[in-house]
Amino acid sequence: MKNILVPIGTSPESHETLQYAVDFATQFSSEIYVMEVFSVSANAGTLSNVSGKITENSIERLKEIIEKVDAKDIVIKIATYNGGIVSGVKDIDKELGIDLIIISPKSNDIKEGLFLGNTSGKIVKQTNIPSLIVPKGSVFTPYKTILTAFKSGVLKRNRILVPLIQIKKKFGSVVNLLLVKTPGYTDADLKINTALMDLCSQLTLTENATTYLGVLENFQAQHPDLLCVFRRKRGFFKTLWEKNTISKEEFYSPVPVLVLSVKKD
């Protein structure tokens, strides 16, 4: 994991997410890019330097957040973008090659009833970059047990597993698989990718209305330090394909969530 992107929202706890990212990046000798987006239209005022002033203010705010963090030996670089969050992430990825996004569940959303806010939801939904969603107040510790939950064992590309493989290798994590048979499953869904099985220490099969309910049923028994899911149209965050936000009633995790995705060729 060479390059990690940390989108910074307006939350006063933004530095906590950045600190988590730094502590995580230390394990992989990664570089971190903190990112903030802003939008200035072509007819915004009459000053020609409006965009420049906003960029300068944005950089100063990011510097203040960085100063609150123990950077250790990690290089933290600043990236600002004039435009939408999704296009900004994609452009930065195109330029730098982002291996992982570390983000809080609610980067700009203050609604307490939401687990995944609108901005964070857009990033997870629309970027095709692996994401690590870090709950508020989380402090990084090596992951001893990882619960990987899915409703279909079919993987179109083995490289979707790269972040999970790297994490398992680095921390010596135990990876437990949870295959949730939901209504309408097929026999093909029960055939688990061999690369995924190679990571497995334990496989559990369960039947539930949704993958999330299957996770709830098994979470307390396994006490994972990290929950791993796949971002695909039939995957764990299916509701993301209808909307960006996810309420806490639909999903909540007290531990970080690794959302595996693969960039399109």
- Least confident window among 30-34, 115-119, 222-226: 115-119
Count H helices, E strands: the chain?
Answer: 7, 12
Map out the domains of the chain with their CATH numbers. 3-133 (3.40.50.620), 145-260 (3.40.50.620)
Distance CA 180, CA 211 (A): 6
Phi first, then psi, for residue 5 (nearest 5°) are -105, 130
Assigned token pair, 8: 């910074």
| Higher per-residue pLDDT: 160 or 220 | 160
For residue 97, give the nearest of 137, 62, 130 by alpha carbon: 130
Buried-exposed string 65-82: b where 16+ CB fall within 10 A, e elsewhere: bbeebeeeebebebbbbe
Q: What is the token pair recorded at 103?
A: 């983000």
Structure pTM? 0.84
pLDDT interval class at 132 (50, 70, 90): very high
63, 78 contact by CB (below 8 A): yes
Q: Return d(Cα 59, Cα 53) in angstroms, integer.
A: 10
What is the tens place of the pLDDT at every residue in 118-128? 667 677 777 78
pLDDT of the residue at 109? 45
Inter-residue contact 249 to 242 (CB < 8 Å): no
Quote the pLDDT of residue 230: 87
